[in-house]
Every structure is written in structure tokens, then in C-alpha cells.
Structure 1
Amino acid sequence: MQKFLLTSLMLIAAIVAVSSCTHSDNDGQVKYVLSDDTPLDTAAAPKLPKGGPVHEMKSRIVDGRLKDIFNDSNHTQLRAAVANGIDPIVDLRSAFYLKRPLVKLNTCKLYYVATMKDSAPYLVPKAANLLKQIATAFADTIVARGGKAYRLRVTSMLRTDYSVAQLQQRNRNATSQSCHRYGTTFDISWSKFDCMDPSYQISQESLKNILAEIIYDFRARGKCYAIFETRQGCFHVTVR
């Protein structure tokens, strides 16, 4: 069922591209699903040599435990998701009647889109732009501090009612009121990163703290809400 949903969404995007992405502004008419046509770098991250030096890198994150710093409640994030997102997709037919467009995200030089069992790689444009800004700031910060190319790993994006129900069967913490249903929310791994230049490797702890620093800055500027999820190993981010 989930594979069928992904295939159908991709077909919708392909149909839209052929029709020059036109759509009707009248309520109730078929809306489009935008496809991100940014040139892709789909190559996997280079394999790291064994036994090479691993560098530490300073971060400017505020003092305290990350789970205490990034603790915006689901209720708070849900308000932002409802305000900025699509109507949750209950079935395949509802994808044709979206009031807001979705952008398809693919692996690129800034982030790797992981294989997703319970979600599809789509976000509303505002959330897609936020992800790009966070990934760009992360990569630029590392280079500015003497490192080399790294990219983030995105582990979850848009979820349907069906995929949420499937997830709840395996994860007791999963809620039916998931912000992921609105296309406004994405998960960025803090436990895994892609080193694109094996000549300079940075410790996972340093990378985690730099990512926290970046997300904290966007959050402080009112761009997003965030939760530091310990069990899932990710930052759960909702655009504001």
C-alpha cells in the first residue's frame, strides 16, 4: 500500500511537469503536486578509510541537555503545521485535491533522503526551503571552521493516515495527530551524517552539536519548532 502511494505521488508530479505545472485556483478543482527539478547528486557518500584521524570541532550551542533545549510540544508544533500545511491525505484520491502544493525532495549535495518506510519525500514549499537553509548553514559552518564537505540525512517527511496507523503498531510514542501529516515537518538524523570528503572526518558528537547550533538559531529567529528525539536519533522540525 505504501509503495503504491509513493508511486502514485510520483506519477502525479510527472503529469504536472508535462502540463507546465498549471492549476486552477477554484476551490474543489484539481491541484498540482510540484516536483523539485534541482539537479541531483545521487551518489552515495564516499566510504571512509578505517583508522583515520577523527577531528573534534567546537560548537556554540547553549548549555544544557539537548532534549531540554529542544522541547516544543506536539501541540505547539501541530498549530504551526495546520496553519502552514496541506489537508492530511487520507487516501490517494485526496492527493489530487490539495489546497497547497507539495515539493518532492531528492538526495542532493546538501542532504541525503533516506529510504522511508512510513513517509514519502514531500514537503510544502515553505518547509522544503527551511530544510535547504538548515542544510546549507550546516555545511557552510563546518567549512568555515576548518572542516570539509558534509551533508545531512533526512529520515522522515510526509505521512498519510495509513502510514501513521502502520507506524503506531510498532511505535507506542507515535501519535495519530502527527505533524508529518501536513507536509510541514521533517526529521534530520543527529546520529548519522554523510562525510563527502574522507580526508577530514569529524566526530559524530561534534556534528550533532553543530546541527543543534544551527537548528537553535533558526528556532530562535522564529523559523521553526523542534524536538530532540533520543530514541529515534533525530531532530523533529516543523516550519513556522
Structure 2
Amino acid sequence: MKMKTVFNVMLLLVVIVSATAFSSCKEKRGELKKIWYNGSYNRDFNDLNDVHLSVAKKIGIEPVSSREGAEHASRDMVEIKTNDYYEVEELTHSIPYLVPEAANLLEDIGKNFQDSLKNLNASIYKIKVTSVTRTVADVKKLRKRNTNSSLNSAHQYGTTFDVSWVRYTKIDEKDTLNIDKDRLKMVLASVLRDLRRADRCYIKHERKQGCFHITAREL
């Protein structure tokens, strides 16, 4: 009986020590590394509308007149939903569908962004998608509200989406380390620059709208 009690006590101690060690390892993330972007947002991401349009027309859908018509688009499209890597904000002038090349690109941006944050020993955040595919009706409505928006928008082809550089979603709210939006933008810009250099996309840094305007390229 005594031997059994001693064994149970020892087993309990092993479990407690193991749990403490695991918790300690989990919490130990390392010192936050310096976050910096060695470049210029405006110069590095200055692909003009004509460049976006050219590739959008080549690999995208034919523009659809209404949201109902999107079900019969000329190419199969992928519905994008909030997931582990990005959050889709409430869309008022677009629908959450992209051609496969653009949907894959968006997920890669979200994954690479989080991988970069992990490598920097930072808290983990999700990027936010603010605009996706626009119908002809969406473009006209947006034009009435914002006269600077283009009637000939790459957003009509299912190849293009906007990612905010102002807003992000923190995954673990209990994590006491907060990264400000300026440094998160630096991390995001580094990820986007790498993908642009790899010929995965064209990008325009939108200062007034607070987003990166991104069009997928042909793989």
C-alpha cells in the first residue's frame, strides 16, 4: 500500500514538473527583434492602374453586371472567408470571390506575414481584407461616393483585392506584447515586396485609402 502511495506521489510530481516545463517553453519566445523596412512604400509599390488592368483582363473573369450575375462568371471563382491567416471585413462595395491565383496569393500573404512575425519574436496578427471583386454596379455606386475611384477598375476581374495597412487583428488577446500599426506595416511591406519580386503580383500603395491594392499575376 505504501509503495503504491509513493508511486502515485512520484507520478504526480513528474506530471507537474513536465507541465511546468512545457508552459515555460511555451511562454519563452525570445526578445523582440528590431522591425524595420528598408525601402519606400511609394516607390516600391507603384504599379499603375494600366499594369493591373492588363494582367487582370488576361487571367480574370469577364466583368459581371450585378452580384447575382457573379454566380455565372466566365471563370470558376473561390469564395474567401475569414480564416487563420486573414480576416475579411464587412464588404459594402464588393463580393468575397477571387480567381484561384488571387485566392492562393492572398493566403500566402497571410501565412508569410505570420511567419515573419514569428521570426521576429513578435505577437501574431492577421491581415485584413477590405475590398475584393466588384461588379459593374458596385463600381458605379462607389464612383458616386468617391469621384476619384476608377470606372475601369481591376477589381472587376476577380484578380484584385485590397489589404489594409492600418488595421490588423491580434490572434491572442492575452498576449501582452502589442505591435503598433506602423511596425506591422513594415512587416507586411517586406512580405509583399518579396512576392512582387517573385512575379506573383502587382501592387499599388494607396495612401488615402490606407491599403495595398494587389493584383495577382499569372503563375
Q: Same fold (TM over 0.5)?
A: yes
Distance in 1 (CA, whole Å) between partners of 2:55 and 2:117 is 30
2:186: which partner in 1? 209
Report the 3-state secondary structure (helix = DSSP H, G, I; strand = E; otherwise coil) of the residue aligned with 1:186: strand
1:95: which partner in 2? 70
Distance in 2 (CA, whole Å) between partners of 1:80 and 1:194 is 31
Pairing 1:114-193 to 2, within 5 Å after superposition:
114-193=89-168
Q: Can you give the 5+ residue segments of structure 2 that lack an aligned partner in the other structure?
A: 1-31
Shift of 1:56: 7.9
1:230: which partner in 2? 207
Q: Does 1:68 align with 2:40?
A: no
Distance in 2 (CA, whole Å) between partners of 1:92 and 1:204 is 33
Specify whether residues 147 and 164 from structure 1 end up closer, same or farther in structure 2 by C-alpha distance, changes over 3 A only. Answer: same
Report the 3-state secondary structure (helix = DSSP H, G, I; strand = E; otherwise coil) of the residue aligned with 2:194: helix
Contact 1:81-1:184 at 8 Å conserved across structures:
yes
Shift of 1:203: 1.3
Shift of 1:99: 2.5
Per-residue CA deviations over 1:195-221 (Å, capped at 9, x if unaligned) read: 112322111110001101100110011
Specify whether residues 92 and 187 from structure 1 end up closer, same or farther in structure 2 by C-alpha distance, changes over 3 A only. Answer: closer
Shift of 1:93: 5.9
1:46: which partner in 2? none
Distance in 2 (CA, whole Å) between partners of 1:231 and 1:104 is 28
Greater helix fraction, Structure 1 or Structure 2: 2
2:195: which partner in 1? 218
Contact 2:33-2:120 at 8 Å conserved across structures:
no
Report the 3-state secondary structure (helix = DSSP H, G, I; strand = E; otherwise coil) of the residue aligned with 1:202: coil
Distance in 1 (CA, whole Å) between partners of 2:188 and 2:88 is 17
**107, 127, 134: which is aligned to 2:82?**
107
TM-score norm. by structure 2 comes to 0.80
Shift of 1:109: 1.3
Specify whether residues 131 and 92 from structure 1 end up closer, same or farther in structure 2 by C-alpha distance, changes over 3 A only. Answer: closer
Aligned residues: 184
Larger radius of gyration: 2
Shift of 1:63: 2.4
Specify whether residues 92 and 138 from structure 1 end up closer, same or farther in structure 2 by C-alpha distance, changes over 3 A only. Answer: closer
Report the 3-state secondary structure (helix = DSSP H, G, I; strand = E; otherwise coil) of the residue aligned with 2:138: helix
Report the 3-state secondary structure (helix = DSSP H, G, I; strand = E; otherwise coil) of the residue aligned with 1:201: coil
Per-residue CA deviations over 1:3-43 (Å, capped at 9, x if unaligned) read: xxxxxxxxxxxxxxxxxxxxxxxxxxxxxxxxxxxxxxxxx
TM-score norm. by structure 1 comes to 0.73
Distance in 2 (CA, whole Å) between partners of 1:57 and 1:175 is 39
What is the percent sequence identity of the aligned residues? 37
Specify whether residues 128 and 173 from structure 1 end up closer, same or farther in structure 2 by C-alpha distance, changes over 3 A only. Answer: same
